[in-house]
Structure 1
């Protein structure tokens, strides 16, 4: 089974009609097209709700299913829409948009700290990256200034695609040491911040991002934690 990734074509799409194509053994609903992003790459799955002629359900999270499918996980046990039913899907946009802001900010964090990334995580309130960094940054305030300066430049965030073979020939594009790029389908999505002539970041990523860095708003670097001899965890918070 395969789900069309509507969020990949338009991260700002909040509602869409879809058809139920399967149920998972765990009680998830698989649609033929989805505005819901599934858990992956450190970004949590989306939440929201489904409605149909004689029913509705709350979606707690979204996960990958067998094949190329995406399963929407109900918040509680309930009657599922039968296979073949047309449903209306509605995203919890407030939560998703915050994660888009955090995710894009983490890309910028990897620019001002140009070290290999060993891990990362995103929530709707904050994010963090783990770096191969033996010593903590000496001037956290300077990092704050540099990060917010990039955000205020209102840089465009765009995507392009390369083949798996092109990615293998350009290993420098991959910043993450612990998470493999979303490869294996023959092509890989690259997320670029800045124009082609003035780009400040280009890396493989399957997540959702804002269209311009100014949408992120003010951010601040929080606690820097030691996570092993070679690793430092840098926390990032969005100031709403």
Structure 2
């Protein structure tokens, strides 16, 4: 059995008005959450497209993934040929344009692992996503080099 230790941290704008053990009511900022869900789902399409386009030439080494309210980015320890970025964008957008359902499925062997699934594309993930690619919308990509060992792919929703 695989055990995944995950810590969730909530940061408050001001000192806590409650004490440990006290029951509280929380409210999710839905607009903010929904934007993160769209970007998170978009990132999976771009991850898959990058692997399809570049992965046949070399092993890709992802160093990080950052999802913000206004954008997302993927950091790679590879130098990515900038001429192939339009192919990545086209593939990701074609997949998104299919508008199919996005599923989150638990690993049957353990409750601690989940998978993002879109048709036959399966990616380990424990995040929150929109329920359909229709909700993601088109993406635009930009590659930027950040030194000898880091290329960054910026993702924007159109």
TM beyond 0.5: yes
Q: CA deviation at 1:133?
A: 2.9
Q: Please, which runs of 5 or more residues in structure 1 have no aligned partner?
A: 1-39, 41-63, 65-69, 167-184
- In structure 2, runs of 5+ residues without a counterpart are 1-5
In structure 2, distance between residues paired with 1:228 and 1:234? 14
Which structure has greater strand proportion?
1
Equivalence for 1:206: 126
Alpha-carbon separation, structure 1, partners of 2:129 and 2:97: 16
Q: CA 1:93/1:136 → structure 2, altered by over 3 Å: closer, same or farther?
A: same
Bigger Rg over Cα: 1
Aligned residue among 72, 81, 95 for 2:10: 72
Per the alignment, residue 234 of structure 1 pairs with 153
**Cα distance in structure 1, aligned partners of 2:157 and 2:125:** 21
3-state SS of 1:90 partner: coil
Match of 1:93 among 30, 34, 44: 30
Q: CA offsets per residue over residues 118-139 of structure 1, 9 Å max, x none?
A: 2111101100112343243314
Tell me the TM-score normalised to structure 2 length. 0.78
TM-score (norm 1): 0.53
**Structure 1 residue matching 2:92: 3-state secondary structure:** helix
Q: Is the 8 A contact 1:136 1:232 kept in 2?
A: no
Larger RCO (CA under 8 A, 6+ residues apart): 2
Instruction: Identify which of 10, 14, 21 aligns with 1:83.
Output: 21
